[in-house]
Chain A
Amino acid sequence: MIAVATSDFASLDLGSLLMQAAQVQAVPASSLTPAGWTPAWAFWILSALVVVGAISTISQRSLISAVMSLVATFFGLAGLYATLSAHFLAAIQVLVYAGAIMVLFVFVIMVLNRDEVERVSDRGLLDKAIGAGALVYLAVRLGEVIASPVGPVSRMSKPAPEFGTVAKIGEYFFTEFLFPFEAISILLIIAVIGAVVVARTVVSRPTTSYEVPNAASGSAEGGDDHAGGDAHGAHGGH
């Protein structure tokens, strides 16, 4: 079962996706709805919100403003998911991203309470050049797909009635995606425990050799320490 699930999971590589995309674009025009499959103004408004929010996210000096821009971006993305018939994903996007993750970000920013002095990094320019080259390569490869010989606009037919329903997603998670689903649950447990361990205030570290190791004998030892401190202070005074 696990082997079957993993092999199906691995077969979803990008190459086959792109190949299937090229086949989808060759759908004859008669089977297409006349005005595309989503209201065009919805796409343009939401994508403008997403792009402006993303640019604002990486260019704000104040971190709270950046987080608020990111929330706006995620709401726009949720709307875009809804135009793609992925209503469940849109709801999850609002709940998980715009809700949980952004609250986490806001809490950490409040705890740190520190705006950066210099925004733009100027070190490691070679790495950045390599990254820019990779980005250009990605854009060129995707441009090849987009400029495929079928035509500039690829409209899509109406989805099946059960497309995008929660029941269908759940069905996939309990049949074909069973192994990734279980692996994700393990990953989440590991991540939560790891986050608690990493971010926890270390209690046992300050007790070095000259300090009281436990609080059980704290009263008597504390009295000793106090007396010692007094003696030291008196010595210093002399």
Chain B
Amino acid sequence: MQLLVQNLLSVGLHHYLILAVVLFGIGTFGVFMRRNALTTLMSIELILNGGNLTLLAFARSHQDMRGQALALLVIAVAAAEAAIGLAIVVGVFRNRHNTNIDELNLLRY
């Protein structure tokens, strides 16, 4: 009980790591379970943000600014990924008139 109160009142590295895992898990669930390509892209953004939160929490924990520099690089990669992904979604929609990723299996077999 005292441990619980201590965990509630004093936030440490563990709290941020658990939150990052929860965010990563929610994003992974969205990628696996949703059919819409746009929702899948949003879930990937959630996953990347979970990773970013881990980087920043460890940077704060180590007093090391390199984690923050890495997080900035991750944000840039996420922006590029969103631009390319949305362009691909628009192109797919133009050809197939839906964005259901379960039907995009032309290159699969």
Q: Which residues of A contact B17 (CB under 8 A)?
A: 142, 145-146
CA distance A71 to B83 in the complex (A): 17
Per-residue CB contact flags for chain B residues 20-37 toward chain A (1 = under 8 Å, else 0) read: 011111111111111110
Least CB distance from B98 to A in Å reads: 7
> A66 with B33: in contact, given A97-B75, A169-B68, A191-B80 (CB under 8 Å)?
no
Distance A143 CA – B86 CA, assembled complex (angstroms): 35
Q: How many residues of B contact A (CB 8 A)?
A: 79
A89 close to B82 (CB less than 8 A): no
Give bound CA distance, A55 to B43, whole Å.
Answer: 10
Contacts of A40 in B (CB 8 A): 8-11
| Interchain CA distance A105-B78 in the complex, whole Å | 13
Closest B residue by C-beta to A58 = B30
**Given known contacts A50-B19, A156-B13, A172-B65, is B70 in contact with A120 (CB within 8 Å)?**
no
Taken together as a complex, chains A and B put the C-alpha atoms of A114 and B94 apart, in Å, by: 12
Closest A residue, CB atoms, query B80:
A191
A contact patch SS: helix
Contact across chains for A77 and B13 when beta carbons are under 8 A apart: no
**Interface stretch among A16-24, A215-223, A226-234?**
A16-24
Residues 13-71 of B at the A interface (beta carbon under 8 Å): 13-19, 21-36, 38-39, 41-43, 45-46, 49, 52-53, 56-63, 65-66, 68-71
Task: Say if the beta carbon of A238 comes within 8 Å of chain B.
Answer: no
Asked if A36 and B10 make an inter-chain contact with CB atoms under 8 angstroms apart, the answer reads: yes
Kindly list chain A residues whose C-beta atoms are within 8 Å of the C-beta of B90.
Answer: 108, 111-112, 198-199
Q: Given contacts A58-B26, A80-B53, A105-B42, is CB(A169)–CB(B65) below 8 Å?
A: yes
B-contacting residues, A138-187, CB 8 Å = 138-139, 142, 145-146, 152-157, 159-160, 163-164, 168-169, 172-173, 176-177, 180-181, 184, 187
CA distance A25 to B101 in the complex (A): 44
Interface contact B11-A177, CB-CB below 8 Å: no
Q: Assess whether B39 is in contact with A58, with CB atoms less than 8 Å apart.
A: yes
Chain B nearest Cβ from A166, distance in angstroms: 10
**A84 and B59: CB pair below 8 A?**
yes
Give the chain A neighbours of B70 by CB distance below 8 A. 12, 177
What separation, in Å, do the CA atoms of A123 and B105 have in the docked complex?
Answer: 12
Is the pair A146, B42 in contact by a Cβ cutoff of 8 Å? no
Residues in A with CB closer than 8 Å to B22 are 51, 54
Nearest A residue (CB) for B19 = A47
The answer to whether B11 and A38 have CB atoms under 8 Å apart is: yes
Query: For the complex, what is the distance from the CA of A38 to the CA of B9, rounded to whole Å?
Result: 10
Inter-chain CA distance A80–B71, complex, in Å, is 14
**A154 and B14 form a contact (CB under 8 A):** yes
CB distance from A142 to the nearest CB of B (A): 5
Smallest beta-carbon distance B101→chain A, Å:
8
Instruction: Give chain B nearest CB distance to A213 CB in angstroms.
Output: 23
CA distance A101 to B77 in the complex (A): 12
5 closest A-B pairs by CB: A58-B30, A191-B80, A199-B87, A195-B87, A36-B10
Further pairs besides A155-B12, A177-B66: 5, Cβ < 8 Å: A58-B33, A97-B75, A164-B65, A164-B68, A191-B81
